Amino acid sequence: MPHFFHPDLVFTEGAFRSGCGLLVKDDGWIEAVLRAEDTAAWPATRLAGKALLPGCVNAHSHSFQRLIRGRSERHSTGGDDFWSWREAMYRAAAAVSDEDVYDVARMTFLEMVTAGITTVGEFHYLHRSESGAAYSDPNRLGLQVVAAAESVGLRIALLRVAYLRAGYGLAPHAGQARFYESAAEYLENAAALADALHAKSGRAWMGVAPHSIRAVPLKDLEQMALWATEHALPIHMHAAEQPAELAACREEYGATPVRLLAELGLLSDAWTLVHAIHITEEEMEAMAAARTTVCACPATERNLGDGVFDAARAAGHGIRIALGSDSQAQIDLLEDARELEYHLRLTRQKRGILDGIGGRDLSERLFGYATAGGAAALGFDGGVLAPGYPADFFTVDLDHPSIAGAAADDLLPSLVFSLQRGTIRDVAVGGRWILRDGLHSAAEEIVARYKEIAARVWRQ
């Protein structure tokens, strides 16, 4: 029997509405947005003092990198940039067992739930054992991450990463031993994973993820893109995050990564380029024409000193934008959304940079990046509360000090620019609660097991 969720306010069709709620079918999909007086025939949950919004969609995550948080924030002898930061990442990658991968992912996903995230795109590249040997099931670690998402309650797109080499002209890197597969191995293992996830009924699915142009030679990248297209799978790839990456690509191919992809006709609406910071106007035009998405990760990009993604130029070209937590330096997609705007304010010394571009309101645009933008990047119909969409949502406490006093017409800007994590009280996926009044049923166990792993990893 359908169930009616009745908050004080519900965000639908770009505005908060009072006196109505969501009628959710047994299969977890929204049947209708109805006024409360029309729902007497169905069981109901009253959410007094709360507003209900579509769940956030995290389009780019490396769950195991949660272990690095706080461990790379000092000067290092090897330098203080993206490339030296990778050494801490390699240490964490080398130290976790397959069971640890599950428990670390659960910790990461639990934190996502408390931030109102209901779906994650996990850019997964741990494939081999700690020694670099292949598992009998090459998808063992990927399936551990999927199981972790299921345990916590999230939907997950397992973006299976291809990592074939350390870079152009470089010898294999010991820190990447758990990442490497040949192109043939990758395609065989990806096909097996797609079959394994087929029965998950929309809770877990696969995407193809050539890590970057430095990690996947062009001929192999073309083969993977063709396979993904034939199987109607999303394609995600790091691109133009670092100037050194552009220089290496020019040396090998005579063009930057985005220009190379565009000239070869590889870009399409199935593609998401992660970061895309160091790109030209011409490259933006090509991405817009192909309807390619950019997944910006502002918390990681500022943590690593990558640079500022020019969201205003991208929006002016009509480029689709999603958001990701990436290295887990911070997990808060609404913070990422506001930082898109704030970074531009700092560089341009003006306010409201993204407001009005293409006729879109600033707060609605930023919230859309954190919700429907991420869903589109993952090939998933989500991030919207409307009939025919999944009942994935979160609630906020309208009396929380960070937003108290906001009226319906200024509540969204208050949420986007001022919400604190404790404001989020409930999270549901498919109409089933996974967070209730700020509590997750497995939180105590998840945190305890994670703490044991973190202590062991950093004692080694």
Phi, psi of 260 (to 5 degrees): -60, -50
- DSSP structure string for 356-380: TGGG--HHHHHHHIIIIIHHHHTT-
Is residue 317 part of the annotated active site? The answer reads: no
3-class DSSP state of 100: helix
Alpha carbon distances (Å) from 237 to 270, 292, 404: 11, 11, 40
CB atoms within 10 A of CB 69: 17
Of 3, 124, 211, 275, the catalytic one is: 275
Of 326, 332, 392, 397, the catalytic one is: 326
- DSSP strand pairing (117-124 vs 56-61): parallel
Contact criterion met (CB below 8 Å) for 60 and 123 = yes
Nearest partner of 10 among 37, 40, 46, 59, judged by Cα: 46
CA dist., res. 132 & res. 94, Å (int):
9
3-class DSSP state of 79: coil
Is residue 275 part of the annotated active site? The answer reads: yes
CA dist., res. 124 & res. 139, Å (int):
10
Active site residues: 275, 326
